[in-house]
Amino acid sequence: MLSKRLIACLDVRDGKLAKSVKFVDTKDIGDPVEKAREYYLDGLDELVFYDITASSDRRSIILEVVEAVAEQVFIPLSVGGGVRSVQDATDLRLAGAEKINVNSAAVRRPQLIAECAEAIGNQNVVLSMDIRRVGESGEFPSGYEIVIDGGRRPMGIDALEWTREGERLGAGELVVNSIDADGTRDGYELRLTRMISDAVRIPVIASGGAGVPGHLYDVLTEGRADAALVASMVHYGDYTVSGLKRDLNDRGVKMRMSW
């Protein structure tokens, strides 16, 4: 039986961990490679880097980070943030990323999903979606809307409709990031995650809102997610990767417990 996955997301700006990430041990501040290695050795199942660099030389910086991590971390590595073309995707793959996350650029130009799937294989194309609750209406039958550009720009697209379109265009996996739950530490948005997971045949990664281990349990069971993504829970030192996995395993969720 397939295990559920615990995925950690690291936001990288200018080659360093973004300031929103605070670490107890000050030695670690700013080094995504160290952090990635630490989580890997602690049993992390998959790693996501999100590049939030704004400058124009962003690409070369993230490529260096990915390359350094890929030399030391032997689990699937996923990279996103500003992927606009097949060239971006293949550059990141050559640097060592297994999977490529597309988000805003795919909403603006959906064909990007198909192009990336053709170039690097469906299973390596992750469609990451930022979604906000708007209430059910004629325009939004699911009650959820797609937003882009880091949650700032509403697109007038129904979330469930975009999900199905993404799967049809060849996405191999989905990240469901709830803008409403993100940062609250009140738990993942279960209803949204479950609705999307039930609507597709590809794996769904839940993102946004995790605060305590029980939240991971809820989204992996009731929310029907295949994987739970965490960030601040582990970055702040409140929880460890292995501790979270042990907790889930003790509650009866099948996790990889040997590494």
Partner 1 sequence: MTVIVDYDAGNLRSVQRACAEVRVRARITNDPERVRAAERIIFPGVGAAGSAMRSLRARNLDAALTEAVAGGTPVLGICLGLQISLERSEENDQATLGIIPGEVRRFALSDPALKVPHMGWNEVRVVREHPLLEGIAPRDEFYFVHAYYPVPKDPDVTCAVADYEGDFCCALGSGNYFATQFHPEKSGRVGLRLLERFARWDGHA
Residues that bind partner 1 (CB under 8 A): 1-5, 40, 45, 70-72, 74-76, 93-94, 96, 98, 121-124, 172-173, 201-203, 224, 226-227, 256-259
Nearest-approach distance from CB 37 to partner 1, in angstroms: 12
Taking the least distance from each CB to partner 1, the nearer of 1 and 24 is 1
Is there a catalytic annotation at residue 226? no
Q: Specify burial of residue 114 (Cβ count, 10 A radius: 0-12, 13-18, 19+).
A: middle
Which one of 11, 45, 88, 218 is the catalytic residue? 11
91 is catalytic: no
Q: Which of 229, 237, 236, 168 is nearest to 204 (CA)?
A: 229
Which residue type sits at 189? E
- First-residue to last-residue Cα distance in the chain: 17
Question: What value, to the nearest 5°, has the Cα angle with vertex 78 and ends 88 and 223?
Answer: 130
| 4: DSSP letter | B
Neighbours of 254 (CB within 10 A): 12
Spot the catalytic one: 45, 51, 91, 130.
Answer: 130
Nearer to partner 1, 180 or 226 (CB): 226
**Minimum CB separation from partner 1 for residue 45, in Å?**
6
Local structure of 99: helix, strand or coil: strand
- Let me know: does 65 contact 77? Beta carbons within 8 Å: no
Closest CA relative to residue 8, chosen from 258, 152, 174, 210:
210
Which is closer to partner 1, CB of 152 or CB of 257?
Answer: 257
Please state the closest distance from residue 61 (CB atom) to partner 1, in A: 19
Q: Which is nearer to partner 1, 5 or 13 (CB)?
A: 5
State in angstroms the smallest separation of the CB of 4 from partner 1.
8
User: Known catalytic residues?
Assistant: 11, 130
